[in-house]
Amino acid sequence: MDVEDAENTSKLMNIKELCEIAGVSRSTVYHYLKSGLLHSPIKEGPTKLRYDQRHNERLQEIRHFREKKKLSLGEIKKIFQVTTSPENILEKNTDEVKNLILDKAIELVSKKGFAKTKISDIAEELNMGKGTFYLYFKNKEELFLKCIERFSDIFLPKVLWEDIRKEKHFFKRSSKRMFYMLQSFHMFMGIIGIVKLAIRGTDAEISKAAMDCFQIITQPLTKELQRNIEAGIVREIDASFISFLLVGVGEAAGYWRMIHPEYSIEETTGKILDFMAKGLASTAVDSQHAEKEDSPKFTVVDQNDNALHLQDIRINGSSLVSGSIGGGCLEVPLERIEVLEKAPAKHENTVLIRMDSEEQIQIQVDGTAVLTGQSSFGKYTISLADINAITKLPIY
């Protein structure tokens, strides 16, 4: 049991002792119990009620809100979101409060480590008394286990898994997985730090939960690698080992972006994709074919009406068209653009974009940006300022 947990249960008090410690009257305690501001006391017999440190902490919180914040009891009750018993509390908005506690715990543990993170630290960050914390978690060990269980949900939520599954090709699917992981890297970094600590720890239950957590993340990737090995897309490798290795690649890429913030997530995942294709593909030719097979093709027309069919186009190395609109910045995925052309009677760097959803928008782009793409003759390079139109070719 954590030291803080023991402190809360080591000394039970009768109402007289509680009132003396908290500096309140009996009638105040009874009123708060009836109003739902205090949770029910512990019954040690038909008429014997006992109170613990959590009751004292809650009374101190109420005093703080009344005297310092000038809040009414009704307003305080809304903050606590409690009724007359811990059981009712757990039925009311439990998941939301638990997730707030878990997210804050992950944040603090990633900075300070498990041993140096106290429940009081977490409660203070959330403007919550330790007593309130114990209504949701028995102790720090239970909180730690729940943090580990939360890893898979944070690593990739279900809605993102569905988006990844829609992608046909293994290397593109892996690239999407890395992209989403890098988008939430700070949360990932906190969770992965907790898991590493847990695996090295002395608590067998927590250590096993941490190892199971890694299995949850790597097993789908292991199965996917094995299928692509059998299909001849990925060369003969140890799928289980490589799946763990790729998790490490994603983590390393996240740290690399922290050192090199000038690189976008798209550019970083592009580098990972190139690494994977060259390291895992059965042959370099196969990996290029797999990636370009469904890559959209575009016709690019320059100012002299010269037209060229291009595939795998990028703008400054990115798969996004970046531009300003009003006081903000917009990034449009190239694969969703049907037509990009110079806007009539506008600033020379203003373009009109028509999307595959039939929506359209005008943005101002950087005329010095460079477009690159692969033609049947070789690599093609041109500045955006020299382009009249980019049109996506239909797929037959």
**Nearest partner of 116 among 126, 105, 124, judged by Cα:** 105
Nearest-angstrom CA–CA distance, 321 and 364: 10
Contact 213, 155 (CB under 8 A): no
Q: Which residues pair with 380 in a beta bridge?
A: 373
CB atoms within 10 A of CB 271: 14
| Helix 170-183 / helix 239-259 crossing angle, nearest 10 deg | 40
Query: Based on C-alpha coordinates, what's the Rg of the chain?
Result: 29
What's residue 240's pLDDT? 92
Nearest-angstrom CA–CA distance, 120 and 155: 27
Contact 208, 196 (CB under 8 A): no
Contact 287, 278 (CB under 8 A): yes
3-85, CATH topology level: Multidrug-efflux Transporter Regulator; Chain: A; Domain 2 (1.10.1660)
Contact 285, 213 (CB under 8 A): no
pTM here?
0.45
pLDDT tens digits for the chain (396 residues)? 454 544 554 578 888 999 999 899 988 888 888 888 888 888 777 678 888 888 888 898 888 878 877 778 887 777 675 433 344 333 445 677 888 888 888 778 767 766 778 888 888 888 777 777 877 887 877 787 787 776 656 655 555 666 777 777 778 788 888 887 887 787 677 677 777 777 777 778 778 877 887 787 788 889 889 988 888 888 889 999 999 898 889 889 999 999 998 888 888 888 888 888 888 877 543 444 444 445 688 999 998 889 999 988 898 888 888 888 888 888 888 888 999 988 776 567 888 899 887 788 899 888 788 899 888 888 899 988 889 899 987 744
Nearest-angstrom CA–CA distance, 106 and 113: 10
**φ, ψ (nearest 5 deg) of residue 138:** -70, -40
| CATH 1.10.357.10 at 154-288, yes or no | yes
Q: Strand pairing of 307-315 and 297-302?
A: antiparallel
Judge residue 29's burial from the number of C-beta atoms within 10 Å of its C-beta, 0-12 exposed, 13-18 middle, 19 or more buried. Answer: buried
Contact 273, 182 (CB under 8 A): no
Contact 24, 61 (CB under 8 A): no
CB atoms within 10 A of CB 342: 18
Query: Domain spans of the chain?
Result: 3-85, 154-288, 295-392
| Helix 15-22 / helix 53-67 crossing angle, nearest 10 deg | 40
User: What is the CA angle 54-60-65, rounded to 5?
Assistant: 125
User: What is the CA angle 276-282-285, rounded to 5?
Assistant: 85
